[in-house]
Chains A and B, each alone.
Chain A
Amino acid sequence: MRAKTWFHQWGSPRWFFEKAKPVSTVLGVLSLVFLSLGIIWGLAFAPEDYQQGNSFRIMYVHVPSALLCQSLYLFMGIAGFIGLVWRMKLTDVAISAAIPLGMMLTAVALITGSLWGRPTWGTWWEWDGRTVSTLVLFFLYFGIYALRQAIKDSSTKANATAIIAMVGTLNIPIIKYSVDWWHTLHQPATFTITEKPAMPSEMWLPLLVMVIGFYCFAGHNVISRMRIEILRRESRSAWVKSIATSGEKARYVF
């Protein structure tokens, strides 16, 4: 029975608002620490790559962005599913909170990937499985954003978003596979980052730090946006009104 009550607590925006605050704060602090550490380490202290030179340092921002933008979309897909099946309003708040960061990080992944490719392999862009699926991911994020702009009614907006988010989530691995398959027909000489010889720890440790830092930041950002959105959506409820009228104390509620 305890699992069920735990689950049902998630249906309460107020519960989330209060319980998520310490989590958000901790994640925020962690992200600051890890990101600062990772950036300085990756830029200035990690050794350069034997073949690529210093351009490979871009990996320290490119890989975390790429991983995170996919994770955020998966997060939206799962949230959409939970929202449709269990009718939980919080999931729509979660999705709306994830879209801006997810879309921007997808763009960052594409741009930093391009900046990495140019000095290292001579091209700004290649059409392979990874690049195409990231590009499509950007279109999918934009599609959800456009859909939400077009629908005014909030519950319809939530359900429609959920449907598209789920369908899109299923799409991503299929696209990646399909483009990779296409390439096996042609056997071009595309670069594959994962086939390099194993990275020494001085090179992948900063990457780990950056990935953790990015994910902590995403958690902090999404939770913060969710909490603000909850206050907006529930503005008519008693508990929000009492916070709103508590004067100076209100600042500490955030």
Chain B
Amino acid sequence: MLVRREFIGISRNPSLVINPLMFLLIAVTIFAITLKPILGDMGRAAGGLIWVLVLLSSLTSLDSLFRKDYDNGTLEQLLLGEVNPFFLVLMKCFTHWCSSGLVMVIVAPVIAMSLGLSQDLYGSLVLCLLVGTPAISLIGLVGAALTVALGRGGALLSLLILPIMFPVVIFGGGSIDSLVMSGEFGGGLIWLFATSMFALGVAPIATLFALRLSIEI
């Protein structure tokens, strides 16, 4: 029921999904335009680049994750309601991921093509993003919860959260890089998965704590 509510909210305000996506596509385009002439084949750079851009695009949608609910008071009610707040947090994360990570995964082949990644790697790229983007949503959730009450805390959110997202980018970018070089993931996918799982264990609890704090501000 909660999930449906979230999706309804998104469908009323599609810019929440479209904006980060457009940001991603525009950023990819800028990189492709500026770097292709210099680097020729972008193959080696593509891996890290894709991940960095996915990360930064997700940031643009994180700030507003809890903001609307916070502003109109529903956040408090939801946390105090009969539904277990833990599930509330998980659902928020899931819907965020659906509107950012999942969308990016679907768009991935387009991105890969513009960055000159060879076609047989598309499937693996999709898998890699699929495994890693949940971690971005999870970790971002904690930051969003901490800064939701601080007004326009967007920059602070990035400042806090980006260092913690480094492993995702490193494992993710490294996986793609290894993929480009040798056709295999070189263990990176496992570590990416492990990072996502670890985030799944830690982030929701931390988010819940942070939300409770933010309500009191």
Hey, which bits of chain A sit against chain B, CB under 8 A?
84, 132, 136, 139-140, 142-143, 146-147, 150-151, 153, 156, 159-160, 163-164, 166-168, 170-171, 174-175, 178-179, 181-182, 185
Contacts and interface: CB of A to CB of B under 8 A. Distances in A.
Contacts of B37: none
Interface stretch (B64-72, B105-113, B208-216): B208-216
B146 A160 contact: yes
Contacts of A171: 163-164, 166-167
Contacts of B191: 178, 181
Nearest to B163: A139
**Majority secondary structure, A binding face:** helix
B217 A175 contact: no
A150 B166 contact: no
The residue in B142, B146, B178 that gathers the most chain A C-beta atoms within 10 A of its C-beta is: B146
B187 A181 contact: yes
Interface residues of B, number: 34
A153 B214 CA distance: 11
B174 to A, nearest CB: 4
Given A136-B166, A146-B156, A147-B156, A181 B188 contact: yes
A176 to B, nearest CB: 10
Interface in B151-181: 153, 156, 159-160, 162-164, 166-167, 170-171, 173-174, 177-178, 181
A151 B150 contact: yes
Contacts, number: 86
Contacts of A178: 166-167, 170-171, 174, 191
Contacts of B214: 156
A60 to B, nearest CB: 29
B174 A182 contact: yes
Nearest to B168: A178
A187 to B, nearest CB: 12
B217 A151 contact: yes
Contact of A174 (B147, B195, B210): B195
B164 A167 contact: yes
Cβ-closest 8 pairs across A and B: A178-B170, A139-B163, A182-B174, A143-B160, A178-B167, A174-B167, A136-B163, A171-B164
30 contacts: A84-B209, A136-B163, A136-B166, A140-B164, A146-B156, A147-B156, A150-B150, A153-B217, A156-B213, A156-B214, A156-B216, A160-B146, A160-B210, A167-B164, A167-B202, A168-B164, A170-B202, A171-B166, A174-B198, A178-B170, A181-B171, A181-B187, A181-B191, A182-B173, A182-B174, A182-B177, A185-B174, A185-B177, A185-B178, A185-B188
A139 B156 CA distance: 12
Contacts of B186: 185
B216 A147 contact: no
B159 A142 contact: yes
B75 interface: no
Contacts of B150: 150-151
A158 to B, nearest CB: 10
A66 B156 CA distance: 26
A142 B217 CA distance: 22
Given A160-B210, A178-B167, A147 B202 contact: no
A179 B186 CA distance: 14
B126 interface: no
Contacts of A142: 159
A17 B188 CA distance: 49
